Structure formats: C-alpha cells, structure tokens
Structure 1
C-alpha cells in the first residue's frame, strides 16, 4: 500500500487563504508519531514523511513513481509524500514544525537555522558509505556546520546569461555582453531597434536574492567577507544601484517585482525579451515549450575590471529529529533516492546538474555542455546556506525589491536593513 498525500499549490491561488489552510492540509497525513521506532526487517511498519519542493510539472509524478517503487521493494516502510510549490513550501513545513510534527526528510534550499536550533539529525549518520563516497565533495561540504554534517546536496544549477539569438541577429550582435557597460548598451539597442524588452530582472519573492547575488559578486562584493556579513558593502550598494538605474532607464522588463523567472523565460521564448539570467534548466525546459526558439548563452556580466562570475545554486536534503525517527529506514530511502539510474532521470527531467560523481561522469561523457557546466560549478560562488542567519536574510529580501525600484528606500538603506537582520540573527 502507498500512503501518499501530495500537496500541489498553484501560483494563482490566494496566498492568504492557502496559508490559513496549511494546518488542515496536513491533518491526518502524518501518522504513527506515538509508535516506537522499529527496524524495517522486524516486520513492523516504519513510516517516513518526505516533503519536497515542486520544481516543475515533472516533479510530482517523478516522486510518486519513486515512492511506489520504494514501497514495492520495502513493503513494511510507508512514505508519506508532500510535493509543495516553492511559493508555499516555507510556510508549509514551518506549520508542521510549529505543531511538533516536522518531516523526517525535507528537500529545500536552507538548513543552518534549523541546525542552530538543534532540530536536525546528523545526516552523515544516515548515509551509507557508498552514497557518501559518490557525492561531489565541493557540494557535500557546504552541508556542514560546526563540524557536523546536517545536509546533503540533491539538486544543483549554474547561472548564466541566456539570450534570444533572433533578436541579437536583428540588432547585429553575435556575442553576449561581458560587462555592465556592454549589458546596458545591448539592452538599449534591443529597446531601440526591436519591439522586445532588453534585460529581464527578477525581483520577485522567489528569486530576488539570486539577482542580488549576481550583481553583488559582479561588483566585487558578496554576502560575506572573511567570514563576516558584508551585505551593505560599497561594492554591493554599487551593484544594486546599477540594477535600479537600468530599471529607471527603461532597459529592463516592465515589472521586475511581479513577473517571475519562469514567466520571463516564456516571454523570451515568445520573442518579447532579449536576455535574462537563468539556470541551466533553461536548456531543458524552454526549448520544449518553444521548439522553434534559437537561443545561446554567455557569462553573467560583471563590472568593468572584475573577474568573470560563476554563480552556483544547490538545494539540499535534511532530516529533522522526531520521536519516531527510524534511521535504518531513512538510510534505505536516501540510498534509493540517489540510485544512479533513478537520480539520472531526476536530473534530466528537471534540467539540473548532478550532485553525485557517478551520474556526473556518465552524463559528461556524452554531453559537452554538461561537462562544461559541471566543471564550471566546481569553481562557483554559492549562497551562504551554512550560516544560520541566511534564511532570515533571504526572507527579508522578498519585501525590498519593489520598494527599491520605486524609490521608497535607497539601495543603501535596503542593504543596511539586510545587514542588521543578518547581525541580529547570527
């Protein structure tokens, strides 16, 4: 029997109503909390609650099939699966935690604040030697805090500048802009000579911290410096100021704080946007929606004089402590999640980069772009997900995009506020 409670929440629904319903969404879904932990081979049933982010329309059926296969192989372990849209993921698992019913396993994009509060298992204790051995060390090591391994990588991407080749041909350009000055000039030419918008900027709640990162790093700054928060550094202020000025000059898309990354990708595919920064999943998702699209990519533009920017992003698996935690069952499920053939299917479905060497080596041997992307992400700069304050900082960025663009606060004021939040939560 498959005990599967899937929660898929659409972007168009009322967020207030859905947040009020979140406790009800999980009522009755999470059973067995009063039962003692038992080894699966004893014949007594064990259960695992698995909450996963929804990346695309492929995510839900992939994990549903995975759970069916797992329960067929291990019929005395039940998986309670929740697949939740990114817009509501944080609120959903926060509701579970507040009711002292955290998930046994969570796939999300942060962990350190939970580790600081003592809520997480040492996930290294759940990893088989075989699984630990095949994880890429440069991704695995970011899951460690104060010498304890709390997270393991599952999904990874590299960010680059993607552009519509037809639009570039119309304006007589063959390469992507490499510097901020070239980015501004290219966007202006697109706006002057075509009916498309120049440069897509995502300042929505789901992606603003990504664009801040691109232009913090591109200015020679970053979220941290020498292990300390440096969000309001002069370099970062310069980066955010440059983005604001692009918007004020009419060189970006019209609604950076409203139109999401996925929507901008469709606008680019429709020939109404010249260029935008996105992840390598663009290469799998967008051509399927727009098979006639001619696209190409280049590095993220940086301030004149700065070194080329490589920005990487990863999502991780974490395990919460519960009074029914069955480490043997969790270990079996983690091994199953990362089995090569199954994990390769996930990577290819979603357009991600693999977190394990065996799959990475196989895919790289047949795909030059995959090899290039994996080589690049090994030298990428990432979000500081190993810092307990990162979750609060990331959440605080969500309310600042429109305020900065509309002049309700200056870039310096906005970054001063983020810096203070980081220091208060550290």
Structure 2
C-alpha cells in the first residue's frame, strides 16, 4: 500500500514540475511554439466583421513572416465596440493592437492614456501625411487611420444612365432626380435606420447647410445652437425626404442588409451609407455600376463641398500592453504597400497608405474623388462629446419618426446645453 502511495505521489510531483516548467517557458501571454520555439500571442480587436476573410489571410502571412508571433483577432459589432473598447483596453490584456473611430472615441481613449505614442515609428512614412492628421493630438501620432472612406450615398450609375439622369448639382436638381426615379417605380434612397441610422447620411446632408468646419466645435462651446438655421434646415431637408417618399417606408426599421438588398435588386437607386458598402453590393450583384453621390442641399451657386471623406479604422497600440514591439510589427506589416493593396482590393476600400495599387473596377472608378473633388472631413466625427453626438443624431431620427424639425432641434439643444464642455 505504501509503495502505491509513494508511486502516486511521485507521479503527481512530476506532473506539477512539468506543468510549472511549461508555464515559465511560455511567459506572460505566450503559448508553446513547438519546434519553432515560444510564440508571443498578440490580441487584435476591431469592428469590421466584413473584413474577416482577408484579414485572416493577412494574419497568416504575417505569422509566416514573423514565426515568433501569433495574432488572435476578435471582432465586435461597431456599436458594441464604440461602447466597450475602452474598458477592454484598460488592463492591457486585450487589444495589443486595436482600432479607433475618429472623434469622440479617439478623444476618450486618448484622455484615458491608452494610446501608445507612434510618432517616431518608421512605418508612419508609409502613410500619406495629409490623411492621418485625425489620429494626432498635441503634436503626437497616437493612431494611424488605415481606410479612406467616402461617407455619402452609393448610387447605381448604370440605372442613372438608362434613365438619362446625372448626379444632381443642387437641391432642386436632387428633387427632380428623385421624382424621376419614383415615376419609374424606384425608391430613390434606401435608408438603413435600424442599425446605421443617420450616422453617415447626416454628413452630406449638412455639409453645405453649415460649410463652417468648426460648426460642431462651436456647438460644444456654446457659440452655436441646433436651433439656428443651419441645423433646422438640415432637419427640414430630412423631413422632405420622408414626406415625398424619397426614402422607403419604415426606414427606421430597415437594417443595412435589407437596404443593400434593395439596391442590389435595383428596387432602390442609392444607399445612404458610404463607399465601404460598395464591395458588399457588388458581391450581391456583380453587374452593378456604382459611383458616389452626395446630395447638394443648396443651389449650385452656394455649393462649397461636393462630398464627404473620412480617414478611419485607426490602427493603434495599447499603451498598457506588454507586447508593444510585436504590436508595432503587425501595424508595420499592414502598412506595406503589397499588403495594403491586398486589403484594399478585397474589401473595396481606399486606403491612406501610399503606393497602393487599386485593381477593382469600383475602386478605380471612384478614385477620382480623392484628387478631383472637393470633399470635407466627416462633420460627425468632429463632435467629441458622445452625449452631444447622440442628441444630434436623435434629432434626425425624431424628425423621420414624425416630429417637427424646430421641436426636434429645440429638444436636442437642451441636451447639448446639459453636456456642453
């Protein structure tokens, strides 16, 4: 009996020793690398679920080029990501590499000290310096925007050509175009109010009503008000879209997938989102000819901007991470032109990386928006207070739900006053 007890004890001791040795060799956050030695696992978190397939391929290439590093990617719905990313980053265990939205989320994460300063990194030179300033604060580069998105409606150019329509250059022409589409049994604008809401469409709807690019900074400081003409008119323009049937019935109950189906099936001429949906639309209907169209809500002589741009999907390193060097290697890999080109063409995104080669017809056909059109950085992302942003967006939803524009503006301004900086 004693012999059996001694053997069992010895075996258990050996297991504990082996277990302890394995834990030490892996280190914090490491896993066994087999024949290739120990591998450091880094966490990469973002919100772009539609990019998973190509990012999986890129991660495989990165791990092949860096056999001592593995990447664990976790993707969250965008609304959840905006609400929880900062909390996930706080202890450094998640999001060694993470992405940030410009605007309120960037400001909040920066204020919390969770961005590692990337200013001196060599890979910054791989990006167009004119497109990455939104990731800067106090002269430091805290995050590097990866995507160059045009946040304005995508439209069926082939349909327009068949009907003899051109992109309107004024609010009068926009309404004439929409009336022609309705006469032909086509909904002018598919509006995904259930999940995306007015987050994207508001930008082009107000860009010429309030051409002052400091308008939302002034709103937050108290110099401007939502009850002033620039915002009340924007709400009146949204009301006109709903009243005239230029957006579909139950727009607030329509999700993005349903809105994309309307465009892919040629039931609708436009989707009120942005260029990031072009690749998905072409997957649904490869025969579509797509371009971008921002509504001009003033007369042509008063037009200042032709469209909206956003440098977003901002790559960053968690300042609380214990694997910063490995995290920087991953961002450096993503910034290499051949890797960036792969990402761009498979996701249908224009990028901020220089020397990217665009191969898809949709990207080549819309690249002229980068250099030839006068676009404005997305105004919504210049609202740095999340409560004020929510009030602005809610006022649009309330108008689409039936509230009068002036009343919706007044209610939203009360919230602004309560949360003003």
- TM-score class normalised by the smaller sequence: 0.7 to 0.9
Within the alignment, does 1:314 sit opposite 2:347 as a pair? no
Within the alignment, does 1:61 sit opposite 2:56 as a pair? no
Within the alignment, does 1:225 sit opposite 2:239 as a pair? no
Distance 1:204 1:418 in 2: 24
Distance 2:375 2:290 in 1: 25
Distance 1:257 1:169 in 2: 30
> Cα deviations across residues 301-326 of structure 1 (Å, max 9, x unaligned)?
2311222422002221122221x433
Within the alignment, does 1:358 sit opposite 2:377 as a pair? no
> Cα deviations across residues 178-217 of structure 1 (Å, max 9, x unaligned)?
22222223222322x2222233334444241221111111
Determine the structure 1 residue equivalent to 2:42: 48
May I ask how many residue pairs the two structures share in their alignment?
A: 379
Within the alignment, does 1:182 sit opposite 2:179 as a pair? no
Distance 1:333 1:166 in 2: 40
Q: Is the 8 A contact 1:197 1:251 kept in 2?
A: yes
Q: Is the 8 A contact 1:353 1:370 kept in 2?
A: no
User: Which one has a bigger Cα radius of gyration?
Assistant: 2
- 1:238 Cα shift? 0.5
Distance 1:209 1:295 in 2: 21
Determine the structure 2 residue equivalent to 1:328: 325
SS of aligned partner of 1:257: helix
Distance 1:375 1:415 in 2: 39
> Cα deviations across residues 351-377 of structure 1 (Å, max 9, x unaligned)?
111211121xx439x975354132157
Determine the structure 2 residue equivalent to 1:260: 255
Distance 1:72 1:275, change over 3 A: closer
Q: Is the 8 A contact 1:158 1:377 kept in 2?
A: no
Instruction: Tell me which protein shows more helix as a share of its residues.
Output: 2
Determine the structure 1 residue equivalent to 2:15: none
With normalisation by structure 1, the TM-score equals 0.76
RMSD, aligned α-carbons = 3.5
Q: Is the 8 A contact 2:159 2:269 kept in 1?
A: yes
Q: Is the 8 A contact 2:42 2:97 kept in 1?
A: yes
Residue number among 408, 412, 416 corresponding to 1:413 in the alignment: 408
With normalisation by structure 2, the TM-score equals 0.77
Determine the structure 1 residue equivalent to 2:96: 104
Determine the structure 2 residue equivalent to 1:25: none
Distance 2:46 2:164 in 1: 42
Q: Extract unaligned runs of 5+ from structure 2.
A: 1-24, 31-36
Query: Which range moves more in the overlay, 410-419 or 131-140?
Result: 410-419
Query: Which range moves more in the overlay, 341-350 or 196-205?
Result: 196-205
Determine the structure 2 residue equivalent to 1:380: 376
Q: Is the 8 A contact 1:237 1:415 kept in 2?
A: no
Determine the structure 1 residue equivalent to 2:4: none
> Cα deviations across residues 25-58 of structure 1 (Å, max 9, x unaligned)?
xxxxxxx999499xxxxx86533211022252xx
